[in-house]
Amino acid sequence: MIDIAADPYDLFTQWMQDAEASEPNDANAMTLATTTPGGHPSARIVLLKSWDPTGFVFYTNLESRKSAEIKANPAVALLFHWKSRGRQVRIEGTCVLVSDAEADAYFETRPRISQLGAWASDQSRPLATRGELEDRLAAVTARYGDGPIPRPPHWSGWHVAPLAIEFWENREFRLHDRAVFTRAATGWSATRLYP
């Protein structure tokens, strides 16, 4: 049973560790939901790269569709679904950019080809042919050679400060276990929910 007396970050950390032990790929994959300027929902999978008691961080191109939508409306939702565990976590919160130092530090840990790809790709914009992307990647590779690759100014991270974190665990006959933690002035309040 979900412990509603627990700290939601500690509970999330335990569930993430459980998922990492059982999910075949990308236990850190999460659905990121934003809204278009017209108010339409927009969702895609991104990878959680870090979390702590202040929130959850993912990285992306700041000129991408998702970033444009976040800049227009920083209220977002995240969803983790771990089928192998019969669990999901929903997070609702507000996005702010991570610091340049934090983005630089993470960028340095990325595989070299991913660093090059951050320079070569105009994420979310029309691409005439795959060859065009491959040509841009070759040009960026030639530009940096074997030297260090700096973080592009259009690439950074978003930090989601949660307002609510909901935990859901599968039970037989759809009598699931479900609880929501809501940010309060002095910490978190927790409520068990009907399934």
- Cα separation, 9 vs 5, in Å, equals 12
Say which residues have a Cβ less than 8 Å from residue 162's Cβ, sequence separation at least 6.
8, 55, 56, 91, 92, 93, 183
- As a dihedral over the C-alpha atoms of residue 97, residue 46, residue 165, residue 38, rounded to 10 degrees, the angle is 70
- Cα separation, 123 vs 60, in Å, equals 9
- Cα separation, 29 vs 45, in Å, equals 6
Clarify whether 174 is annotated catalytic.
yes
Question: Which position among 87, 136, 174, 192 bears the catalytic label?
Answer: 174
Known catalytic residues are: 174
